[in-house]
């Protein structure tokens, strides 16, 4: 690679960086003020591209393109305001992260709405009027539009910077980012502030999406790609820091451009294709940055936000009624194999639900009592699944041994990653776990010779008698019940108490001799290990596994299950997993627009049960008891 090629790739990187910056900056602002992790941010970005496409093609010309971009930004901003007013405002008091569930539902709904409105085909917009050509730089042609983007990113950064520094609104945003409670104390109308920030964030996402219309086609997969990029940039830059977001965007874009520029390098004994590294480059950058700087490049430790949600109830041993219910459910499940003849699918669905239960319960173990929001729990599911499957593939070990090894592989991974993760907290911890999961995913994806690459491992079927679904179901049930009871036992043991102590008040916990990080680390490892059981079971249930097993989608499914059931209850993840897995199975065959339907159902659930399903029942139950006791006195 010559010096001029290198410099030119750096220019390419800068124009990509502007794009990344636009996706990320709005998310950063929104999170800074409202503490909402807005998964639908990528959807707003995608809408930006689609709407701008319509302006550019329906009206056309200079007005349609440039005017359309501005109009799009305003429209998407308005949509953002609407989302905040109609939906999010109703659930600010819900437990932490619950808003994530609502925005996840929005992703599903918006994606299907876009499909319905614009159709399935990729829509490539026209070139930008006036900026369609290229200019000669370093003996190469740089598209004029890229040059424009190189400048427009920093321009928006400067405008935002001054707006935040010089205006009252800006000062409020900065104050709220640092200390949300203070703003309430200053007598600021919080709901107006939240709505405006959400609208501003959405507007920037819309603008970013609209500006891409001249570079890439409007595509229905953009939403998830964009949100992934946005999270990484925001976290690397430091939550709430817009300059940090730009800096992070530049670093990530440059690293990628460099990887692409280097291309294939022959080291003599091995030749490495660096362009393949772009698959995971941003996550490598994120992991390195977070390990070195726990709050991102320009982020600052945030004042601990006292949750405005109802705090959690003390855990109590199962009441006789709950025990009776559990025994009944178990008895019913044990009867399921009797139906194997008449409705065999029930058992297959049952196996999937039980695997989801183990997955969600293990995630809840660290998310609820541990207070560690893992966004990368799929890593341990995947390690378990691959651990088992690869043992079968390469060493031909029997299923029993492979299933026993699955949690050990996952445990090893969780011990390694957890050691770094527990040094962080809050959303940074969440993102570091995500980064680790993506790194595992990429390793599995790339290491074709060993893991089968994108095809995965094929032909991992259980031997007789487990090839009969009812036998495998009973095995899964046995392991699921063991896993759930084991985790429950741990939570009621001193270790579980210590984990909650570390979550409730790390300072106090340390002051009574608890090594919070160590406790959380071990908790993380235990959850990872149990999750590995689910992965192992999954591999044999499906007969094949692929990198999707470790994908972001599975991690998000886990979050949804835990939140849906109720993060503050111990039975929540069981109910959440069962409901979500069954719903998904049912909804997927109901309608062509199943995603929108699933999203709508989750939205309904979110509004009806702001504490999750079990959380809501528990609250009703408590209320009933209080009323009864008051009536009696």
Partner 1 sequence: MSVLAVHSLSKAFGGVRAVNEVGFAVERGEFLAMIGPNGAGKSTCFNMINGQLAPDSGEILFEGKNIAGLVPRTIWQLGVGRTFQVAATFGSMTVAENVQMALLSHAREIYSLWRPAGEMHRERALDLLEQVGMREAADRPSRELAYGDVKRIELAIALANEPRLLLMDEPTAGMGARERHELIELVKRLVVERNISVLFTEHSMDVVFAFADRIIVLARGRVIADGDAAAIRDNAQVREVYFGTGKTFAQSTSQGAAS
Partner 2 sequence: MRPTRHVFYLALAGSLAAGFAMPASAQNTIKIGELNSYKAQPAFLDPYKKGWEMAVEEINAKGGVLGKKLEVISRDDGANPGEAVRVAEELVTREGVAMIAGTFLSHIGLAVTNFAGQKKVFFLAAEPLTDKITWANGNKYTFRLRATTYMQVAMLMPAATAAKKKKWALVYPNFEYGQSAAENFKALMKKAQPDVEFVTEQAPPLGKIDAGAVAQAIDDAKPDAIFNVLFGGDLAKFVREGNTRGVFKNRTVVSLLSGEPEYLDPLKDEAPVGWVVTGYPWDKIKTKEHQAFVDAYKKKYNDYPRLGSVVGYVTMKSLAAGIAKAKSTDTEKLVAAFKGLKVDSPFGPFSYRASDHQATMGAYVGKIALEGGKGTMADFKYVDGASVLPSDAETKKLRPAAD
Under rule CB under 8 A, which residues in 303-322 are in contact with partner 1? 311-315, 317
Q: For residue 344, how many other CB atoms are within 10 A of its CB?
A: 13
Residue 519 contact partner, candidates partner 1, partner 2, none, CB within 5 to 8 A by sort of partner = partner 1
From the CB of 605, what's the least distance to partner 2, in Å? Answer: 6
Residue 631 contact partner, candidates partner 2, partner 1, none, CB within 5 to 8 A by sort of partner = none
Task: Return d(Cα 523, Cα 365) in angstroms, integer.
Answer: 8
CA dist list (Å): 75 to 47, 79, 171: 10, 6, 25
Residue 471 contact partner, candidates partner 2, partner 1, none, CB within 5 to 8 A by sort of partner = none
Is position 513 an interface residue for partner 1 (rule: CB under 8 A)?
yes
Query: In three state form, how does the secondary structure of 110-138 look?
Result: HHHHHHHHHCCCCECCCCCCCCCCEEEEC
Task: Return d(Cα 18, Cα 237) in angstroms, integer.
Answer: 14
Judged by phi (left if over 0) then psi (alpha if -120 to 50, else beta), residue 543 lies in: left
Residue 575 contact partner, candidates partner 1, partner 2, none, CB within 5 to 8 A by sort of partner = none
Give the strand pairing for 457-458 and 271-273. Answer: unpaired
Is position 113 an interface residue for partner 2 (rule: CB under 8 A)?
no
Is position 273 an interface residue for partner 2 (rule: CB under 8 A)?
yes
Is position 622 an interface residue for partner 1 (rule: CB under 8 A)?
no
Residue 585 contact partner, candidates partner 2, partner 1, none, CB within 5 to 8 A by sort of partner = partner 2
Is position 185 an interface residue for partner 1 (rule: CB under 8 A)?
no
Is position 124 an interface residue for partner 2 (rule: CB under 8 A)?
yes
Is position 220 an interface residue for partner 2 (rule: CB under 8 A)?
yes
Q: Which two tokens stand for residue 255?
A: 């690293």
Task: Identify each DSSP E strand in 445-532 by its residue range.
Answer: 457-458
Give the strand pairing for 264-266 and 140-143. Answer: unpaired
Q: Which H/E stretch holds residue 544?
A: strand 544-545
User: Rule CB under 8 A: which of 24-43 touch partner 1?
Assistant: none
In the complex with partner 1, the residue whose CB is nearer, 139 or 513, is 513
Is position 134 an interface residue for partner 2 (rule: CB under 8 A)?
yes
C-alpha closest to that of 388 among 403, 370, 410: 403
From the CB of 500, what's the least distance to partner 1, in Å? Answer: 6
Q: What angle do CA 63, 110, 237 make, to 5 degrees?
A: 80
From the CB of 522, what's the least distance to partner 1, in Å? Answer: 7
Q: x/- string (CB under 8 A) for partner 1, residues 473-492?
A: ----------------xx-x
Task: Return d(Cα 109, Cα 606) in angstroms, integer.
Answer: 14
Is position 279 an interface residue for partner 2 (rule: CB under 8 A)?
yes
C-alpha closest to that of 452 among 397, 373, 386: 386
From the CB of 497, what's the least distance to partner 1, in Å? Answer: 5
Task: Return d(Cα 448, Cα 205) in angstroms, integer.
Answer: 37
Is position 336 an interface residue for partner 2 (rule: CB under 8 A)?
no
Is position 344 an interface residue for partner 2 (rule: CB under 8 A)?
yes
SS3 591: coil
Q: Which H/E stretch holds residue 143?
A: strand 140-143
SS3 588: helix
Is position 150 an interface residue for partner 2 (rule: CB under 8 A)?
no
Residue 187 contact partner, candidates partner 1, partner 2, none, CB within 5 to 8 A by sort of partner = none
In the complex with partner 1, the residue whose CB is nearer, 65 or 490, is 490
User: Looking at 592, 621, 625, 627, which residue binds partner 2 (CB under 8 A)?
Assistant: 592
Q: x/- string (CB under 8 A) for partner 1, residues 519-538?
A: x--x----------------
Is position 606 an interface residue for partner 1 (rule: CB under 8 A)?
no
Is position 509 an interface residue for partner 1 (rule: CB under 8 A)?
yes
In the complex with partner 1, the residue whose CB is nearer, 515 or 592, is 515
Is position 323 an interface residue for partner 1 (rule: CB under 8 A)?
no
Is position 467 an interface residue for partner 1 (rule: CB under 8 A)?
no
Residue 489 contact partner, candidates partner 2, partner 1, none, CB within 5 to 8 A by sort of partner = partner 1
Task: Return d(Cα 78, Cα 84) in angstroms, integer.
Answer: 10
- Burial pattern 424-455, b for ≥16 Cβ within 10 A else e, equals bbbbbbbbbbbbbbbbbbbebbbeeeebbeee
From the CB of 95, what's the least distance to partner 1, in Å? Answer: 12
Helix axes 98-118, 552-565, angle to 10 degrees: 120
Is position 288 an interface residue for partner 2 (rule: CB under 8 A)?
no
Which part of the chain contacts partner 1 (CB under 8 A), choosing from 148-156, 384-392, 418-426, 511-519? Answer: 511-519
C-alpha closest to that of 239 among 512, 538, 32: 32
For the chain, what's the residue count? 633
Task: Return d(Cα 132, Cα 336) in angstroms, integer.
Answer: 65
User: Rule CB under 8 A: which of 1-60 touch partner 2?
Assistant: 1-2, 5, 8-9, 12-13, 15-16
Residue ranges that bind partner 1, judged by CB under 8 A: 311-315, 317, 489-490, 492-498, 500-501, 503-505, 507-515, 519, 522
């Amino acid at each position: 690679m010559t010096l001029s090629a290198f410099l030119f790739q750096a220019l390419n990187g800068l124009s990509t960086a502007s794009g990344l910056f636009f996706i990320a900056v709005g998310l950063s602002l929104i999170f800074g003020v409202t503490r909402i992790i807005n998964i639908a941010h990528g959807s707003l970005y995608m809408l930006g591209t689609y709407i701008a496409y319509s302006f550019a093609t329906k009206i056309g010309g200079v007005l349609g393109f440039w005017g359309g971009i501005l109009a799009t930004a305003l429209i998407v901003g308005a949509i953002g305001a609407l989302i905040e007013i109609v939906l999010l405002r109703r659930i600010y008091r819900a437990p932490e992260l619950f808003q994530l569930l609502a925005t996840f539902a929005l992703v599903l709904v918006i994606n299907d709405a876009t499909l319905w409105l614009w159709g399935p085909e990729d829509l490539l917009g026209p070139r930008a009027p006036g900026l369609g050509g290229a200019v000669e730089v370093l003996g190469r042609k740089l598209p004029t539009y890229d040059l424009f983007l190189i400048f427009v990113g920093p321009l928006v950064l400067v405008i935002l910077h001054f707006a935040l520094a010089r205006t009252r609104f800006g000062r409020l945003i900065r104050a709220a980012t640092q200390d949300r409670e203070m703003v309430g104390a200053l007598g600021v109308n919080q709901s107006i502030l939240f709505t405006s920030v959400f609208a501003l964030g959405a507007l920037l996402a819309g603008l970013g999406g609209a500006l891409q219309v001249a570079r890439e086609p409007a595509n229905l997969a953009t939403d998830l790609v964009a949100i992934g990029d946005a999270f990484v940039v925001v976290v690397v830059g430091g939550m709430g820091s817009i300059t940090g977001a730009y800096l992070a965007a530049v670093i990530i874009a440059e690293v990628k451009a460099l990887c692409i520029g280097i291309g294939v390098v022959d080291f003599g004994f091995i030749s490495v294709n660096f362009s393949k590294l772009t698959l995971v480059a941003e996550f490598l950058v994120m992991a390195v940055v977070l390990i070195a700087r726990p709050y991102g490049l320009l982020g600052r430790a945030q004042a601990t936000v006292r949750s405005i949600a109802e705090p959690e109830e003390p855990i109590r041993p199962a009441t006789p009624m709950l025990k009776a219910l559990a025994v009944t459910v178990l008895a019913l499940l044990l009867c399921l194999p009797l139906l194997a003849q008449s409705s065999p699918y029930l058992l297959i669905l049952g196996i999937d639900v039980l695997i989801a239960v183990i997955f969600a319960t293990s995630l809840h173990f660290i998310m609820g009592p541990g207070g560690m929001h893992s966004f990368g729990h799929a890593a341990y599911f995947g390690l378990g699944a691959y651990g088992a499957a690869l043992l079968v593939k390469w060493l031909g070990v029997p299923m029993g041994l492979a299933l026993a090894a699955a949690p050990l592989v996952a445990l090893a991974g969780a011990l390694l990653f957890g050691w770094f993760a527990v040094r962080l907290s809050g959303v940074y911890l969440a993102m570091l776990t995500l980064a680790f999961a993506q790194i595992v995913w990429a390793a599995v994806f790339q290491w074709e010779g060993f893991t089968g690459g994108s095809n995965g491992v094929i032909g991992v079927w259980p031997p007789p008698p487990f090839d009969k679904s009812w036998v495998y179901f009973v095995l899964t049930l046995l392991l699921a019940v063991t896993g759930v009871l084991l985790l429950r036992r741990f939570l009621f043991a001193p270790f579980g108490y210590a984990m909650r102590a570390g979550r409730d008040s790390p300072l106090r916990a340390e002051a009574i001799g608890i090594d919070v990080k160590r406790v959380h680390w071990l908790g993380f490892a235990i959850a990872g290990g149990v999750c590995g059981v689910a992965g192992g079971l999954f591999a044999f249930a499906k007969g094949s596994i692929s990198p999707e097993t470790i994908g972001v989608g599975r991690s998000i499914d886990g979050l949804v299950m835990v939140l849906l059931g109720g993060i503050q209850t111990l039975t929540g993840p069981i109910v959440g997993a069962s409901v979500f897995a069954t719903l998904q199975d049912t909804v997927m065959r109901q309608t062509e627009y199943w995603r929108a339907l699933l999203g709508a159902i989750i939205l309904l659930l979110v509004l009806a049960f702001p504490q999750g399903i079990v959380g809501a029942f528990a609250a009703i139950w408590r209320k009933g008891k209080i009323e009864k006791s008051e009536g009696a006195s």
